[in-house]
Structure 1
Amino acid sequence: MTATTYTELKGPTTARRLLTAPTTGPLAALLLACAFFSVTTDQFLSGGNFSLIVQQVMVVGTLAIGQTLIILTAGIDLSCGAVMAFGSIVIAKMAAQGSLPPLAAIALGLLVCAGFGLANGLLVQMVPLPPFIVTLGMLNVAFALTHIYSEDQTISNLPAPLTALGETFPLGYTDITYGSLVTIALFLLFAYALGSTAWGRHVYALGNSPESARLNGVRTARLTIGVYTLAGLTYGIAALLLISRTGVGDPQAGQTDNLDSISAVVLGGTSLFGGRGAVLGTFIGVLIVGVFRNGLQLMGVSSVYQTLITGVLVILAVTVDQISRKKAR
């Protein structure tokens, strides 16, 4: 085989793989959105505004990491926002009242959120119950506990360690929050775990076909429970980021973040049917949501229309995924 023939054979394959990658479409949409808002608004294309976008999406982005893990297994988690809110109240109240040192309060909040994830995983795997039903019920449980434990009071006067991730440092001509770096680091960590470890391969196998994964030696029950528990832990980290951004423990927080996290995952190219997607695609999806809302706000568009456009984008993303799945059969 000549070198020319080999290149001709290899070139189209590589190009086709790039064009059909789950993140290609979302990345193109993100770049087009940035180009559009750069032309239509004078304030969009600046370091300070991009820093603001990342700050605005870091909480939902961290929730979306856990949501991605669960959706890759063909599940879904409607409770993530409520669990995060309860975790933030536990951390804030324990630390503000002096019941625990700040770091111990943070650790307890992380454990509480991981416990919710563990409970979800056990119910999904051991009963078993559909993830939609389990997490819908857990949403109501976490929501009620948040309001009972907080007594519907916003918790303020928090110690410095709880708000440290909300502080900024200069980078070039803009300021970056430490919390933004934590979110980006988590995306990179989970991108590596899913793409370069046996655990990540098992997660994809579980989402594609639980029975095939089991026959190939994957301990599907333990893996499912572990995924939900790990997702709960990421919700605890999101709770800490939420406190650091707002400076308070707010019982009203997170009420739509579950839907926003699902939107980000879907917009990032992860299939709701499981087994296909990437956590870096979720990062792109989070940025798409953040860029659209920021750009439309700069244009003076009402928040109602921002929500409308986000909904349309989600429907389009799911439609594209469904069409691509049918063509792949």
Structure 2
Amino acid sequence: MRSPVTTRPAADGEPGTALRDALRYALRTPTVGPLAALAIAVLVFSLTTDTFLTPENLALVLQQSIVTGTLALGQTLIILTAGIDLANGAIAVLGTLVMAKLVFDGHSPAAALLLGLVTATTLGLVNGLLVARLGLPPFIVTLGALTVIYAVGRLYSDSRSYPVTSELLVFWGNGVHLGRVLVTWGTFLLVGLYAYFWYGLAKTAWGRHIYAVGNAPESARLTGINVQRTVLSVYVTAGLLYGIAAWQALGRIPNADPNAYQTANLESITAVVIGGTSLFGGRGSVAGTLIGTLIVTVLRSGLTQAGIDTLYQDVATGTLVVVTVAVDRVLRRGVAR
């Protein structure tokens, strides 16, 4: 009679164990997947187009990432608390209109810039008060704010655009030439902002409180964290970042248009989700968001150079978001078990 065949588990150091450990690490580290996706996208477009991997195009991809990347940074802070902001693009557009129209009417560029930043920060404060103090759902609050702010922008600007010539307002569009390539000051600012908020989230009590509130707000409250104050601080900080994005937008395109950035909110959410931050809160990083922003921009640039219609680009981006959220949901269930 044959004895039953048994399989021996792989011991530590054996190939099977190493492979499983590597796979487990990849699944539990939010930035690994997005970084691999970015590398694959760059490789594919480099092989299928002749112009994607040129220094000029790569510099252009970085420039195109600046506004979306700054908006996505503020969006990341909010999503980490299990919220969402549908009004960030509208806030940035209103900020550009305030800055440009004040200068157009003869006011000081410095005063216009300050008022634009204050306007965006104040709108973030209002949204934060409605969410944190009154307990209203972030989706409803920011959806209403989206409609109101876009309407206010059109009323304020008389539905017209304002060209910008002030050196102060277009500052982030200038830069330094590295050979034939222009690297704008806005690119350096974006990297600096991400480094600053990476440190804030990873190394400070404020960052730990944000993750705790996103994971379990009631447990965070019981441990002594002021949940309302934490959520409010996140919306105010995000509002300031949207104001900075407005300033960057004028450097990118020196024209304030009330109809600009109509899909900026969706693009910022896409960058955050693709970057590995969970829509359910408490999980993610700004490093992942930066990678997600680059993925969105690379995808747009590569598909455009490949001659793909913008409608199909939207289909590809939307599908990627749904798949990413579905994978995140499955992974969270696996971790919970």
Aligned length: 323
SS of 2:259's partner is coil
The structure whose Rg is larger is: 2
After the TM superposition, which segments of 4 or more aligned residues of structure 1 sit over 3 Å from their partners? 5-8, 10-19
Letter in 1 for 2:99: I
What is the letter of the counterpart of residue 197 of structure 2? F
Corresponding residue for residue 56 of structure 1: 64
Percent identity of equivalent pairs = 50
Kept after mapping to 1: 8 A contact 2:27/2:331? no
Residue type at the aligned position of 2:35: L
TM-score, length-normalised on structure 2?
Answer: 0.92
Alignment match, 1:310:
317
Matches within 5 A, 1:184-199: 184-199=191-206
Displacement, 1:191? 1.1
Distance in 1 (alpha carbons) for counterparts of 2:71 and 2:164: 25
Residue aligning to 1:319: 326
2:47 to 27, 39, 63: 39
Query: Could you tell me whether the CA contact under 8 Å between 2:37 and 2:295 is conserved in 1?
Result: yes
Cα distance between partner residues in 2 of 1:119 and 1:77:
12
Aligned partner of residue 183 in structure 2, secondary structure: strand
**Pair 1:163 & 2:177 matched:** no
Given that 1:96 and 1:159 are in contact with CA atoms closer than 8 Å, whether structure 2 keeps it comes out as: no
Shift of 1:96: 2.1
8 Å CA contact retained: 2:76, 2:289: yes
Counterpart CA distance in 1 for 2:327 and 2:282 is: 16
Q: Secondary structure at the match of 1:162?
A: coil
Q: Which residue of 296, 301, 306 corresponds with 1:299?
A: 306
Structure 1 pair 308/146, CA: closer, same or farther in 2 (3 Å)? same
Aligned partner of residue 279 in structure 2, secondary structure: coil
**CA–CA distance in 2 between the matches of 1:94 and 1:120?**
25
TM-superposition CA deviations, 1:32-89 (whole Å, max 9, x none): 0101001001111122111101111211110000000000000000000111111110
Structure 1: distance between partners of 2:18 and 2:103: 59
Aligned partner (choices 186, 196, 212) of residue 179 of structure 1: 186
Aligned equivalent of 2:6: none
Q: Tell me the C-alpha RMSD between the 2 structures.
A: 1.7
Q: For residues 104-183 of structure 1, what are the structure 2 equivalents within 5 Å?
A: 104-183=111-190
The one of 276, 280, 286 aligned to 2:283: 276
Tell me, yes or no, if the aligned pair for 1:96 and 1:158 is still in contact at 8 Å.
Answer: no
- Contact in 2 for aligned 1:66/1:231 (Cα 8 Å): yes
User: How far apart, CA to CA, are the structure 2 residues paired with 1:301 and 1:285?
Assistant: 21
**Partner amino acid for 1:150?**
S
Equivalent residue, structure 1, for 2:102: 94
Counterpart for residue 76 of structure 2: 68
Counterpart amino acid of residue 294 in structure 1: S
What is the match of residue 207 of structure 1?
214
Q: TM-score by structure 1 length?
A: 0.94
Shift of the alpha carbon at 1:17?
3.2
Q: Tell me how far 1:181 sits from its aligned partner.
A: 1.3
- Structure 2 distance, partners of 1:185, 1:168, is 15
Q: Show structure 2 runs of 5+ residues with no match.
A: 1-10
Amino acid across the alignment from 1:110:
L
Q: Which amino acid aligns with 1:20?
A: R
Partner in structure 2 of residue 252 of structure 1: 259
Which residue is equivalent to 2:85? 77
Structure 1 unaligned segments of length 5 or more: list them.
Answer: none
Give the aligned partner of residue 4 of structure 2: none
CA contact (8 A) 2:217 2:227 kept: yes
Contact persistence 1:85–1:239 (CA under 8 A): yes
Counterparts of 1:62 and 1:172, CA distance in 2: 27
Q: Deviations over 1:133-172 (max 9, x none)?
A: 0001111111111000000111114311111111131124
SS state of the match for residue 189, structure 2? helix
How many angstroms does 1:109 deviate by? 0.7
